[in-house]
Amino acid sequence: MKTIHKVILGNASKMEAVNNESVDLIVTSPPYPMIEMWDEMMIEQDASIHNLLENGEGNLAFEKMHLLLDTVWEECSRVLKVGGLACINIGDATRTLNNQFQLYPNHTRIIQKFLTLGFGNLPNILWRKATNAPNKFMGSGMYPPGAYVTLEHEFILVFRKGGKRIFKTEIEKKNRRESAYFWEERNQWFSDMWDLRGTRQTIADPKTRKRSAAYPIELPYRLINMFSVKGDTILDPFLGTGTTTLAAIASKRNSIGIEMDKTLYPTIDKNLIFSSSFLNEIVKKRLKSHKDFVKKRQSEKGKDAFKYQNETHNFPVITRQETLAKFDIVKKITKESDFIYSSEYEQLENL
């Protein structure tokens, strides 16, 4: 199986190049309203936001920014298949305007919009980020009541369009079986609290990565493996430096990435072309972690610790559903033409 990865430079509020109900899963992290690093991008799309911020009208500016995101969520609803899921990584914002400090609840506003679009909101995930040092708390030191709680987590909102996905064809069922995750991965991934540092992403320029606010690749990689199957199409309407596309390649899924900032494309291009070894290490790490789990469980429970054997890779697994899981690594990534890439795969040999 060869996967195809398309990069589109433009505003995701108009996805003319993406067909109706052609996407299986959306994984993205949009610009966060009321976070200053995104003000300029928001103001370029709606100049009235500048005046609202200057006048200290934070709640109105917050709403105007979300109205811009709403147009993207509406397009996401159009292109997502019935039964498909959308995973949105978003953090709330705190900001002081006219000497008034307050919280701007981005996650709540996005949930409201998806509900109006007819999506069901599935259990969400709290992503606990690196803990702040004690001297980083906001406010007036030790005297009450002037200090404020520090935000140390972001949200991964999970929405589904329509009812549960149905796998009808034999190829869909085969891809689903081969996409099975490990029992111990399920127990970790499907917790509503992720204490996730992620795989260090060394393939992007640090300055560019900071400007794009890229999340660690482990985040989209998990979500793609949790909520899609091999051969599916993954959409990221706020592509940034291409992290979601990289995760899709590593997972043997197709992808479409849309990015408004055209200056990011050279970084996206470089990341995709030179990422094979980096991505393969992620897959190999999964198998190594499973083998470590097998060794530990066998030492604790003896020879009866496992009832099943994976047919492709010949290692023990807990459940029957894991016996047909198959892990592939990237053999080659090819730039087919401007903004279109393909990835070829080969079976991962036992470690």
Question: One digit per residue, pLDDT tens: the chain, 351 residues?
Answer: 899 999 999 999 999 999 999 999 999 999 999 999 999 999 999 999 999 999 999 999 999 999 999 999 999 999 999 999 999 999 999 999 999 999 999 999 999 999 999 999 999 999 998 655 555 566 667 778 878 888 889 999 999 999 999 999 999 999 999 999 999 999 999 999 999 874 454 444 555 544 456 789 999 999 999 999 999 999 999 999 999 999 999 999 999 999 999 999 999 999 999 999 999 999 999 999 999 999 999 999 998 899 999 999 999 999 999 999 999 999 999 999 999 999 999 998 766
Question: What CATH number is associated with residue 220?
Answer: 3.40.50.150
Does residue 22 fall inside a structural domain? yes
Number of domains in the chain: 1
Cβ-contact 276, 330 below 8 angstroms: yes
Residue 38, domain member (yes or no): yes
- The residue count for the chain: 351
Q: Exposure of 300 by Cβ count < 10 A (0-12 exposed, 13-18 middle, 19+ buried)?
A: exposed
Residue 263 lies in a domain: yes
Assigned domain for 36 exists? yes
- Is residue 200 situated within a structural domain? yes
Token pair recorded at residue 160: 């589904």
pLDDT score for 209? 43
Pairwise CA distance, residues 276 & 274, whole Å: 6
10 within some domain: yes
295 lies in a domain? Answer: no
In this prediction the pTM is 0.94
Q: Specify the 3-state DSSP secondary structure of 158.
A: strand
Omega before 145 cis (within 30°)? yes
Record the tokens describing residue 91, joined without a space.
């953090």
User: Could you tell me the residue range of the domain that residue 186 belongs to?
Assistant: 3-133+149-279
342 domain residue, yes or no: no
